[in-house]
């Protein structure tokens, strides 16, 4: 019996690693300029095996792209005396500025709740809402509201069926990044699943940075806030004077 247990301990790591992901990105750097209108990232790769394709549940692939996380205040409005006013506000500790989930099929068929809780793959799991319940409010409703608002703005996306998997070996998907990206490191995570369980993961990064005049202005605002403020004021005065002069010219 002890020999059998020892044999299983030796064989199990090899079986667990029988299928793994080898992946890459079409680009790892995105430059935000004055003409930046968004970008599209190609995620591609292959499934590496030490043995033939195992029988059983089909293989699934999930790809997530996550932007830098920041605190978010979610407010609830109520109608008071015929006027809509903010009646409650909750701060969510950390929420991704951008989050996309692409998969070979419906997430419910490829990922169990236990694995989702462990890896924080779905949008709701990716948002850390620790501390909301202590305020005596319905935390789920505030998280749902944040997800709904950002889905409408295109910042949160679920893309079932957008990952192609050829002969359970070659994979690829395209993820569109919007024009209103914020600077930071964007995590690209790939998950290989069978029967709702994650059997391998892979992570890459996309570095989003401002470039050109935008980068110079951003650095100036942080390093020389007084000069940046005076420059902004001067530009506002020049713009106002130019608009006034153009209006007078058209009147004449």
Q: Domain 15-210: which topology? A: Immunoglobulin-like (2.60.40)
Residues linked to residue 70 through DSSP beta bridges, in sequence order:
95
User: pTM value?
Assistant: 0.74
DSSP 136: T
Q: What number is the average pLDDT over the span 104-120? A: 93
At 137-159, the pLDDT tens digits run 567 788 888 899 999 999 999 99
Domain chopping of the chain, boundaries: 15-210, 212-252
Backbone angles phi, psi at 54, to 5 degrees: -70, 150
Tell me, what DSSP letter sits at residue 135? G
Which of 84-93, 156-165, 193-202 is predicted least confidently?
A: 84-93
Lowest-confidence pick of 109-113, 193-197, 198-202, 224-228: 224-228
Q: How far apart are the first and last CA of the chain?
A: 101
Evaluated on CA atoms 236, 238, 243, 244, the torsion sign reads positive
Model confidence band, residue 121 (pLDDT cutoffs 50, 70, 90): very high
Mean pLDDT within 54-58: 81
Q: Which strands form 156-160's sheet, in the order they lie side by side?
A: 29-32, 197-210, 184-194, 59-66, 99-103, 156-160
H-state helical runs in 53-187: 107-110, 113-119, 123-126, 139-152
User: Could you tell me if 15 and 39 are in contact, meaning their C-beta atoms sit under 8 angstroms apart?
Assistant: no
What was the pLDDT predicted at 4? Answer: 37
Dihedrals phi, psi of 241, to nearest 5 degrees: -65, -40
Predicted pLDDT of residue 113: 93
Percentage of residues in the chain with pLDDT exceeding 70?
Answer: 70
């Amino acid at each position: 019996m002890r020999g059998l247990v020892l044999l299983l301990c030796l064989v199990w790591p090899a079986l667990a690693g029988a299928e793994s992901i080898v992946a890459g990105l079409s680009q790892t750097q995105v430059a935000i300029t004055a003409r930046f209108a968004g970008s599209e990232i190609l995620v591609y790769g292959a499934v590496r095996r030490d043995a033939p394709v195992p029988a059983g549940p089909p293989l699934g692939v999930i790809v997530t792209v996550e932007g830098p996380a920041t605190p978010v205040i979610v407010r609830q409005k109520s109608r008071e005396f015929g006027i809509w006013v903010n009646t409650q506000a909750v701060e969510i500790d950390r929420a991704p500025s951008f989050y996309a989930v692409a998969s070979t099929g419906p997430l419910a068929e490829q990922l169990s709740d236990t694995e989702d809780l462990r890896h924080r793959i779905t949008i709701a799991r990716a948002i850390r809402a620790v501390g909301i319940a202590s305020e005596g409010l319905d935390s789920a409703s505030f998280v749902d509201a944040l997800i709904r608002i950002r889905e409408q703005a295109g910042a949160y996306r679920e893309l079932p069926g957008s990952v192609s998997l050829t002969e359970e070996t070659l994979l690829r998907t395209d993820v569109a990044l919007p024009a209103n990206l914020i600077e930071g490191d964007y995590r690209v995570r790939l998950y290989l699943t069978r029967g709702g369980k994650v059997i391998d993961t892979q992570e890459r990064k996309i570095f989003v940075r401002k470039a050109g005049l935008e980068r110079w202005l951003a650095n100036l605002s942080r390093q020389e806030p007084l000069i940046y403020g005076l420059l902004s004021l001067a530009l506002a005065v020049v713009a106002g004077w130019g608009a006034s002069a153009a209006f007078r010219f058209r009147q004449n």
